[in-house]
Amino acid sequence: MRSGPAWALLLGLAGLGPPALAAGSPADRFREANELVRGGDYPRGVALYEELAASGAESASLYWNWAQAAAARGDQGEALWALLRARELDPSDRAVLRELERLREGANLDRAEIAPDPLAGLARSARRFRLDLGALLLLVVSLGAHPCIQHWPSARGLGPTAGTALLLGLLAAAVPVAGSFARPTGAVVRRGAPLLDSASPTAEALGTLREGEVVPILETSGDYLRVEDSSGARGWTLARDVRRLTGPYR
Amino acid sequence: MKRKAGIIALLVLGRGLPGHAAEGALRSEVDARKIGLEDQVQLTITVEGAGSLPDDVSPPAFTNLKLVGGPAVSTQMSFVNGRVSQSRSWTYVLQPLLAGRAEIGPVRTRFGAVEEMAPAIPIEVVAGSVKPRAPARRPTDPFEEDPFESFFGRSRARAAEPRLLVEASPSRQSLYVGEPLRLTYYLYTQASVSDLQFTEAPRYAGFWVEDLERPERPAGDAATVEGVSYRRFPILVKLLFPTRAGRLTIPAATLKIAIPRQGFFDNGAVVQRSTRPITIEAKPIPDEPGFSGAVGRFKASVAVDHPALALGEAATLRFKVEGSGNLKWIDRAPEVRVSGAKVFPPQTKSDLKTEPSGITGSRTWEFVVVPQTTGTIEIPSLAFSYFDPSAERLSRTETAPLPLRVEGGASAAGVAAPLAAPAAARPGGPLPLRADLDAHASGPSPLPGRTIALLAGAVLLLHGGMWSSTRLAGWRRKSAGRTAAPRSVRVALRELERVGRDGMSKEAAAGLIEKTLHELFGSTDGDDSERARSVRRLLEEVQLLRYAPQLGDYSEKLHELAGKAREVVRRWA
């Protein structure tokens, strides 16, 4: 699925890769970006983080640092997006959750405005608690216990064990399965991003989206995304103004 | 708006109209300033106040006038907004003596220690008659005439149409778009008024309207309209700003005016008066790129809250425009571009006051400026263009460039970059950057929801298959005449496992086998099936063993019987 690193490697070997990536390992580039950000050169630091993310070297730490740099240069929406992205990658990262809450309050956004789809929350919970593995384990246990009942009918507790394991396994499996039905979402990274009446350069603005707001992505058409804002208004917006929270970067 | 008009009316009645009791006021009024030799003029001297009023007022000196009637005295008491006020009037009827100039001298009276004076009233006397005659009364109506009239020596006010006028008076009739125009609604009256309302809210199409505060105690002044004297009260004042060029018309406004009852047989009256439509000439103002739309006279200034700051901190840039004009309309902020800094859209703050001459005060746009580099950043000159009506041209006010010193960061010349610059979003501390790229990456990738659903479905199917096969086997057992429940079979088998263990005696072991077989198969008497025969054979063997003399070790035999019993159970139960 993620062919980014492989392509980068091939291009690097051919001498055609991006110079930033050709210069060192992702960890080295990450440290270099951190130094740039610490020195106050946020634009270049963020550009390096972006290159790393595009190359597939995504992690909660990468997006955490990206969020710090974006917040420092005043790009509140981008900072929120980066933290949301970090949360998607590592839902158990408490520091990300705290920072996200702080930025959300700073941006005067309601909780519902950064969590428009409850199913996305279920998907995150499933990832955070690894419910997929838990469900799998329980289902296997139930599956193993069932034939044992046939073979050792006198063995006590096998029936309840199989039944309980099956029930819990199904419940645990229901959470990630329900989460997989969540609509894709994106965060508004530009202040005053227009909501357009069509996916066209000549479209008229219906209104503006709030910076940092998370909007469900209903449709994609070229460089435009069809989204729905927190008031229920639907329209098109430029893809560069709304960055996706899930899926590989770019 | 109607409600608003009602409130205005109440204010008028409570504070300014005749009949209202001030702390102590004295008025001297005539019903005409120009009369003929054949006419009479009516002089009314009124005192009003909240406390005690003088019982008598000395009549003024009359020049070229003679007293032909009165004084008729009337006293009124009113409750307005919970306050009691009263007024007392003395009415005289005067007859001119010669054509030319006549005068009613000043009137003086005392309210406690304070002496009040009403000024002299000049009257022009011409030959003949100029005053309109009162309509003839109908002699057939016995109640038409006020029985107290002859006693008090004055005519009833309701016999003639009350002398009331309303007027809308603009401060000017030609002005530029955006310039202020004061529009005052006046009430001209010779009678007391108890209520005053616009029948319909006044409309001002093509104008931006601002309400002006009325004075606490609007003093009525004397005014003459077409030779008739009135007291004039401002009842509503608006400040209008034309929003488009051309001839703009302010339509007529109609007011309902209530006249209080004047005597015992008088029920009062409600009359309607309308203003005249007014036409205003609004001249266009130039529309050029960068013109803010402001009309008036303004001065711009700029300031930052922190002339020096650390990289990552934010400064607030305040661009202030102050002066007099239509500043309230102006929302468009000047475009601020600072090289090396990010400038956020501004917040607007206003400190504006609406005055009769226009809107004065200031409007401030506050921009948050976040430097993105170190060194000295220059906030460029900011301009505000406006139309100056007095000069009749566009003018421009500019601010001086403003330096902003930014310290810290990698680009500070000759200085090693600090490890962390404080961030705007996290003031007061270094940026909490993480050192390891994959510090939080752990564990295998989550399984996709579809995969989990497929796996769960497969498990359910397998369970279902196993359950079905068990059920099928049960059904087969049932069709083969085996009725025991699998659970009972499991229990029976478990019981039979215990036979011969823990030093169990042969009697006890035989009893256990018997009990288990009886519980599982019940009575087999009269049943000639193979199943019943097998069970009966086994039970006979068990009984033989049970009642056999204890001559040796029967454990092997017991185990053999238990094994046979299990086979019978497995086969037939």
Residue B255 belongs to a domain with what CATH number? 2.60.40.10
- Give the number of other Cβ atoms within 10 Å of residue B267's Cβ: 10
For an interface test with B, the pick among A154, A158, A171, A191 (most B C-beta atoms closer than 10 Å) comes out as A154
| Residue among A64, A153, A191 minimizing CB distance to B434 | A64
Q: Measure Cα distances from B92 to B43, B106, B242, B260 in Å.
A: 5, 15, 49, 21
- Tell me, yes or no, whether B147 lies in a domain: no
The reply to whether B488 and B524 lie within a common domain is yes
Q: With 80 as the cut, is the pLDDT of residue B2 above it?
A: no
CATH of residue A11's domain is 1.25.40.10
Q: Counting every residue, how long is chain B?
A: 573
In a mutational test of the A interface, the residue from B459, B468, B516 whose CB has the highest number of chain A CBs within 10 Å is B459
CATH label of the domain that carries residue A236: 2.30.30.40
Number of compact structural domains in chain A: 3
Cα–Cα dist A148/B466, whole Å: 11
Name the average pLDDT for chain B.
Answer: 77
Please indicate, yes or no, if residue B146 is contained in any of the structural domains: no
Residues B493, B530 within the same domain = yes
Structure tokens at B202: 């006044």
Chain B residues lying within 8 Å of A139, measured CB to CB: 455-456, 459
pLDDT over threshold 80, residue B410:
no
Residue of higher predicted confidence among B442 and B139: B442
In a domain, B110, yes or no: yes
Of A6-10, A195-199, B162-166, the one with minimum mean pLDDT is A6-10
How far is A242 from chain B, CA to nearest CA, in Å? 19
**Tokens 């009966």, residue located:** B536
pLDDT tens, position by position, B461-507: 998 998 888 888 778 766 766 666 666 777 888 888 888 777 788 88
% pLDDT > 90, chain B: 7
The mean pLDDT of B20-35, rounded to a whole number, is 75
Burial classification of residue B207, based on how many CB atoms lie within 10 Å of its CB (0-12 exposed, 13-18 middle, 19 or more buried): buried
Domain assignment of residue A117, yes or no: no
- Domain boundary among the residues A108, A141, A167 is at A108
Q: Which of residues 463-482 of B touch A (CB under 8 A)?
A: 463, 466-467, 470
**Residues in CB range of B475: below 8 A, 6 or more apart:** none
Residues A93 and A142 in one domain: no
Nearest to A166 among B420, B435, B463 (CB): B463
Q: Are residues B261 and B300 in the same domain?
A: no
A139 part of a folded domain = yes
Average pLDDT value for residue range B200-221 = 77
User: What spatial distance separates the first Cα and last Cα of chain A, rounded to whole Å?
Assistant: 13
Calpha distance A147→B155 (Å, rounded): 119
Give the A window 93-152 contacts with B, CB below 8 Å. 93, 103, 106, 123, 126-127, 130, 132-133, 135-136, 139-140, 142-143, 146-147, 150
Same domain for A15 and A99? yes
Per-residue pLDDT, B215: 60
Q: Considering only CB atoms, which chain A residues are within 8 Å of B489?
A: 153
Question: What pLDDT score was predicted for residue A237?
Answer: 93
Residues A17 and A51 placed together within one structural domain of the fold: yes
- The amino acid that residue B323 corresponds to is G
pLDDT band of A82, cuts 50, 70, 90 = very high
Is A173 a member of any domain?
A: yes
Which one of A109, A139, A149 makes the best mutation probe of the B interface by having the most chain B beta carbons within 10 Å?
Answer: A139
Among A56-65, A185-194, B409-418, whose mean pLDDT is lowest? Answer: B409-418
Q: Is A161 on the interface with B (CB under 8 A)?
A: no
Contacts of B441 in chain A (CB under 8 A): 59-60, 89-90
Tell me, yes or no, whether A249 lies in a domain.
no
* Structural domain ending residue among the three candidates B252, B283, B314: B283
Whether B546 and B509 have beta carbons less than 8 Å apart is answered as no
Mark yes or no for CB contact A173/B453 under 8 Å.
Answer: yes
Q: Are residues B89 and B170 in the same domain?
A: no
Of the candidates B402, B562, B428, which has an alpha carbon nearest to the alpha carbon of residue B494?
B562
Q: Residue B341's beta-bridge partner residues?
A: B371
Q: Are residues B304 and B254 in the same domain?
A: no
Burial of B77 (0-12, 13-18, 19+ CB in 10 A): exposed
Grade residue A188 by pLDDT with cuts at 50, 70 and 90: very high
Residue B440 domain flag: no
* Residues A129, A66 within the same domain: no
Alpha carbons B332 and B292: distance in angstroms, whole number: 7
CA dist A186 → A112, A178, A250, B518 (Å): 14, 19, 12, 72
Verify that B269 and B341 share a domain, yes or no: no
Contacts of residue A105 in chain B, CB cutoff 8 Å? none
Whether B126 and B24 map to the same domain: the answer is yes
Residue A138: band (very low, low, confident or very high) from pLDDT cuts 50, 70, 90: very high
Q: Which of B317, B312, B296 is nearest to B389 (CA)?
A: B296
**Do residues A9 and A68 share a domain?**
yes
A16 and A85 belong to one structural domain: yes
Q: Are residues B307 and B368 in the same domain?
A: yes
The whole-number pLDDT of residue A168 equals 93
For residue A124, the chain B residue with the least C-alpha distance is: B446
Report yes or no: A204 and A224 within 8 Å, Cβ to Cβ. no
Backbone φ and ψ of A157, nearest 5°: 80, -5
Nearest to B371 by CA among A44, A72, A47, A38: A72
For the residues A139-164, what does the mean pLDDT come to?
A: 82
Q: Which of A52, A68, A85, A105 to mutate to test the interface with B (most CBs of B within 10 A)?
A: A68
Which of B:362-401 have CB within 8 Å of A? 368, 370, 372-374
Give just the sign of the alpha carbon dihedral B407, B413, B418, B420: positive
For residue A92, give how far its alpha carbon lies from the nearest alpha carbon of chain B (Å): 9
Residue A20 reports pLDDT greater than 80 = no
Collect all residues with Cβ–Cβ distance below 8 Å to A187 and sequence separation of at least 6: A77, A80, A81, A84, A114, A212, A213, A214, A215, A242, A243, A245
Please check whether residues A94 and A149 belong to one and the same domain: no
DSSP code for B294: E
Is the domain of B86 the same as that of B190? no
Judge whether A67 lies within some domain: yes
Model confidence over B344-366: pLDDT tens digits? 878 888 888 888 888 889 988 88
Among the candidates A152, A179, A206, a domain finishes at A179
Write down the pLDDT at residue B109. Answer: 86
Residue finishing a domain among A108, A135, A161: A108
Average pLDDT of span B430-448:
74
How far is B219 from B17, CA to CA, in rounded Å? 8
pLDDT in the model for residue A8:
42
**Do B17 and B124 have their domain in common?**
yes
Tally the C-alpha atoms within 13 A of residue B148's C-alpha that lie toward its C-beta.
Answer: 11
**Cross-chain residue pair B435–A42, CB shorter than 8 Å:** no
**For B497, which residue in chain A has the nearest alpha carbon?**
A154
Q: Are residues B249 and B300 in the same domain?
A: no
Q: Are B357 and B323 in contact (CB under 8 A)?
A: no
Q: Cα(B107)–Cα(B569) distance, rounded to whole angstroms?
A: 135
What is the average per-residue pLDDT within B157-168?
71
Dihedral of CA atoms B488, B490, B494, B495 in degrees, nearest 10, equals 20
Write the residue in A39, A61, A71 that is nearest to B410 by C-beta: A39
B409 inside 8 A of chain A by CB: yes
Name the percent of chain B lying above pLDDT 70. Answer: 80
Asked if A8 and A102 sit in the same domain, the reply is: yes
**Cβ–Cβ contact B438 with A under 8 A:** yes
Place of tokens 């309980």: A164
Q: Which of A137, A38, A153, A224 is nearest to B486 (CA)?
A: A153
The confidence score (pLDDT) of residue B175 equals 92
pLDDT at A217 over 90: yes
Question: Is the pLDDT at B4 greater than 50, yes or no?
Answer: no
A84 lies in some domain: yes
Q: How many domains does chain B have?
A: 4
Chain A nearest-CA residue for B469: A150
Closest alpha carbon within chain A to B450: A177
Give the residue, B367 or B10, on which the prediction is more confident.
Answer: B367
* Torsion from C-alpha of B543, B547, B551, B552, nearest 10 degrees: 40
CATH number, domain containing residue B330: 2.60.40.740
Give the chain B residue whose CA is nearest to the CA of A132. B447
CA atoms within 13 A on the CB side of A12: 15
Size of interface A-B (CB pairs under 8 A): 169
Which residues of chain A make contact with B464, given a CB cutoff of 8 A? Answer: none
Q: For position A134, what pLDDT does the model report? A: 92
Q: Which residues of A touch B474 (CB under 8 A)?
A: none
Do A150 and A226 fall into the same domain?
Answer: no
Please check whether residues A195 and A173 belong to one and the same domain. Answer: no
In a domain, A116, yes or no: no
The string over B458-480, giving b where at least 16 C-beta atoms fall within 10 Å of a residue's C-beta and e elsewhere, is: ebbeebeebeeeeeeeeeebeee
Q: What is the chain A residue with the closest CA to B494?
A: A154
B171 and B278 assigned to the same domain: yes
With contact defined as beta carbons under 8 Å apart, do B320 and B302 qualify?
yes
Please report residues of A whose CB lies closer than 8 A to that of B420: 38
CA–CA separation, B331 vs B292, rounded Å? Answer: 9
Q: Give pLDDT tens digits for B181-202.
A: 999 888 888 877 877 888 877 8
Over residues B237-257, the pLDDT tens digits come to: 888 988 888 999 998 888 888
B545 phi/psi in degrees, rounded to 5:
-65, -40
HEC secondary structure over B456-489: HHHHHHHHHHHHHHHHHHHHHHHHCCCCCCHHHH
Assigned domain for A39 exists: yes
Distance (Å, whole) CA B180 – CA B208? 9
Q: Are residues A85 and A37 in the same domain?
A: yes
Q: Please tell me the predicted confidence (pLDDT) of residue B447.
A: 84
Query: What is residue B112's predicted lDDT score, i.e. its pLDDT?
Result: 76
Q: Which domain holds residue B237?
A: 164-283
In this structure, are A101 and A24 located in the same domain? yes
The domain of A166 spans 125-179
CA distance B333 to B199: 41
Domain edge (last residue) among B390, B407, B424? B407
CB atoms B470 and A68 under 8 Å: no
Please tell me the distance from the alpha carbon of residue B425 to that of residue A67, in angstroms, as a whole number: 10
Over 90: is that where the pLDDT of B305 sits?
no
Question: What does the block give as tokens for B109?
Answer: 């009276």
pLDDT band at residue A171 using 50, 70 and 90 as cut-offs: very high
- Lowest mean pLDDT of A34-48, A203-217, B133-147, B264-278, name the range: B133-147
Mean pLDDT of chain A: 84
